[in-house]
Amino acid sequence: MSAMTETTQPRRVPTGDREDEIQVYGLHKSFGELEVLKGIDLTVHRGEVVCVIGPSGSGKSTLLRCVNMLEQPTQGQVFIMNEEITDPDADIDRLRTMMGMVFQQFNLFPHLTATENCTIALTRVLKKSSADARRIAQENLAKVGLGDRGDSYPAKLSGGQQQRVAIARALSMDPEMMLFDEPTSALDPELVGDVLSVMRDLANGGMTMMVVTHEMAFARDVADRVIFMDGGVIVEEGPPDEVIGNPKEERTRLFLKRVLDPTHVNAGAEDAAYAERHKAARVHHHQED
Amino acid sequence: MTTATAAPAPQKKKMSPRKRAKIIRIIQYTVLALALVAVIAFSDGQQIMRTFFRPDLMQQTIGVGLLNALKNTILYTAGAFVFGLLLGTMLALMKLSQVAPYRWIATVYTEFFRGVPAIIVLLVFSLLPLALPGLRIPLDPYGTVWTALGLVSAAYMSETIRAGIEAVPKGQMEAARSLGMPSGMAMSRIILPQAFRIVTPPLTNELVLLTKDSSLVYVLGLTGEAFELTKYGRDLANTHANVTPLVIAGLSYLIITLPLTFLVRRMEARQKKAK
């Protein structure tokens, strides 16, 4: 499982193994002066649930967004189902239909009903008949516990319901794998559980999942592997009991201490560390505007 | 900063801000009432009627001709609006394009047509067949008016639509792309429907402006059938050496513009509530 961490030299060809659904080699990403990812190597296997944890600004969301090319990597390669998505000639749109993506801010289409949110890509991208599309949408809405809300517009749904529609929307494409970008971070605490339980069901159903999250209990329970990122590199990875339960690296220990027991952290030190991390990030944000 | 300005300078008179506001308001109302009384007292009602509302001319103006002119005003406006909307959307997309020359073309276009009076564009356009023999603008004079006014309004609308597209959250494009939609499809199916919803009130305002701009058509040599409201009123006013028909024509514009402005206000209120 940790075979790829021993690879020092970035490889240039996919393994060809159907089990290696996501392969990332030597991935770098810079926003202007700021280098967010500093060489990531990673393989996610079929049916595996990988949780990526780490402090904000550590590059974990950027990593996820590079996997489906919402961000263009500066350097390195990403293979999806052994096809290189970072290849300039790659059919990115087709490869993206194999990866469902769930966003922190849901990003449901507000002008479409829950059902239409699920069907639009089915009919337009996969060219399904509208009857088939509606049936698939209904199935997936039922799967996330919203079988009766198909006609609702997103604005009429709670945050937790919206996120579950977003999951149903991604599942409707019948993807090989799901990418979750902090799916519960924008939710009121009492609504987090519904979304996590849907994700847990997915994981138990054998879905390949890459989850950027702050939910340590979820990571510990559901993940096959936990990756701790800090400063744009993978600091530590392994089974959840090791990385979360008994971390080897000092940086992992410090992070977990802050997350799991925030009241016992020296507030001043935390603020200083946060300001330090975000000094560069703020500059980048201004450039982006 | 707030603490410094919050403490007012010590006042000489003991007048609370509220009382002072009340006194100012009373003064304002008094002046207004006096002005109204003065206007009524010093104006000659009959003279006003004779100048602006001569009954026989009013009767003559309001009729089949006026209805036809109203219809033409609506036709000129609607056609120009549709043309402007299509071209404006295209220009907005060009302004947001990755391709630099597209952006330049769209910017030059916008700056040009926003800076040139519509009446001149209209005149130049009506004379185009003279400069380019063989060119025939279809559906003349409607085609000429639609194109000329459409070209001008497209410049304004493109700015509005561009702002609308940019107001749609970035995550919408990302969600659409992550579902495998090509960028063109994501734009037309996901972004534009939301953008147009955002810009419907300002675009309706543009429609109101365009309705009034359609009065510029009077500079073209039109036949009576093609008269719109202003030309119709002007013609009758010239014949009778009295401005009454023009007043009627002017009031007729309100039949179109008032419902539109009312609609805009309702839509804006609804959008504000939705936020």
The chain B residue lying nearest A179, using CA atoms, is B178
User: Which pLDDT value is given to residue A264?
Assistant: 63
- Interface test mutation site (partner A, options B172, B174, B177, B179, max chain A beta carbons within 10 A): B179
pLDDT of res. A289: 40
In the DSSP assignment, the letter for residue A49 is E
Beta-carbon contacts of residue A52 (< 8 Å; ≥ 6 apart): A60, A63, A64, A210, A211, A212, A213, A226, A227, A229
Are the Cβ atoms of B180 and A103 closer than 8 angstroms?
no
Q: Over the stretch A60-107, which tens digit does the pLDDT of each residue have?
A: 999 999 999 999 999 999 999 999 999 999 999 999 999 999 999 999
Q: What is the pLDDT of residue B140?
A: 78
Best residue in B98, B174, B178 for a mutation probing chain A (most A CBs within 10 Å): B178
Distance from CA of A6 to the nearest CA of B (A): 32
Q: In this complex, do A96 and B172 lie within 8 Å of one another by their Cβ atoms?
A: no
Are A54 and A230 spatial neighbours (Cβ–Cβ below 8 Å)? yes
For residue A85, the model assigns a pLDDT of: 96
C-beta of residue A173 within 8 angstroms of C-beta of residue A93:
no
User: Is some CB atom of chain B closer than 8 A to the CB atom of A32?
Assistant: no
Question: Which of B171, B178, B197 is closest, CB to CB, to A96?
Answer: B178
Please tell me which residue of chain B has the smallest CA distance to A123: B181
Are B274 and A155 inside 8 Å of each other by CB?
A: yes
- What size, in residues, is chain B? 275
3-state secondary structure of B34: helix
Secondary structure letter of residue B190 according to DSSP: I
A-B Cβ pairs (cutoff 8 Å, strict): 62
Tell me whether residues B172 and A107 touch, CB distance under 8 A: yes
Say what the pLDDT of residue A223 is. Answer: 96
Per the omega criterion (within 30 degrees of 0), is the bond before B141 cis? yes
| B178 has a chain A CB within 8 A of its CB | yes
Nearest residue on chain B to A112, judged by CA atoms? B190
Closest among A121, A105, A182, A113 to A141, alpha carbons compared: A113
Q: Which residues of A touch B174 (CB under 8 A)?
A: 70, 101, 103, 107
- B179 CB within 8 Å of a chain A CB: yes
| B167 close to A (CB below 8 A) | no
* A120: nearest CB among B178, B189, B274: B189
In angstroms, the Cα distances linking A228 to A41, A55, B66 are 13, 9, 77
Tell me how close the Cα of A87 comes to any Cα of chain B, in angstroms: 17
- Please write the tens of the pLDDT for every residue from A250-262: 999 999 988 887 7
Select the residue of B169, B185, B194 nearest A124 (Cβ to Cβ). Answer: B185
Cα–Cα distance between A86 and B13 in angstroms, integer? 76
Which chain A residues contact residue B193 at CB under 8 A? 111
A155/B190 Cβ within 8 A:
no
> What's the CATH code, domain B57-274?
1.10.3720.10
Residue A173 DSSP code: T
Q: Is there a contact between B178 and A124 if contact means CB atoms under 8 Å apart?
A: no
Judged by DSSP in three states, A201 sits in: helix
Measured between CB atoms, does B169 come within 8 Å of chain A? yes
Write out chain A's pLDDT in tens, 289 residues: 444 444 444 556 888 888 999 999 999 999 999 999 999 999 999 999 999 999 988 999 999 999 999 999 999 999 999 999 999 999 999 999 999 999 999 999 999 999 999 999 999 999 999 999 999 999 999 999 999 999 999 999 999 999 999 999 999 999 999 999 999 999 999 999 999 999 999 999 999 999 999 999 999 999 999 999 999 999 999 999 999 999 999 999 999 988 887 776 666 666 666 666 666 555 555 544 4
Sheet holding A233-238, edge to edge: A99-102, A177-181, A208-212, A49-53, A225-230, A233-238
Domain positions in chain B are 57-274
Burial of A269 (0-12, 13-18, 19+ CB in 10 A): exposed
Among candidates A109, A111, A125 on the partner chain, residue whose Cβ is nearest the Cβ of B180: A125
d(CA B220, CA B72): 14
**What is the pLDDT, as a whole number, of residue A287?**
46
Nearest beta carbon to residue B177 from set A70, A105, A169? A70
Single pTM value for the model: 0.82
Per-residue pLDDT of chain B (275 residues; tens, 9 = 90+): 444 455 555 556 678 889 999 999 999 999 999 999 998 888 888 888 888 888 888 888 888 889 999 999 999 999 999 999 999 999 999 999 999 999 999 999 999 999 999 999 999 988 888 888 877 777 778 888 999 999 999 999 999 999 999 999 999 999 999 999 999 999 999 999 999 999 999 999 999 999 999 999 888 877 878 888 998 998 899 999 899 999 999 999 999 999 999 988 888 888 777 65
The pLDDT of residue B8 is 55
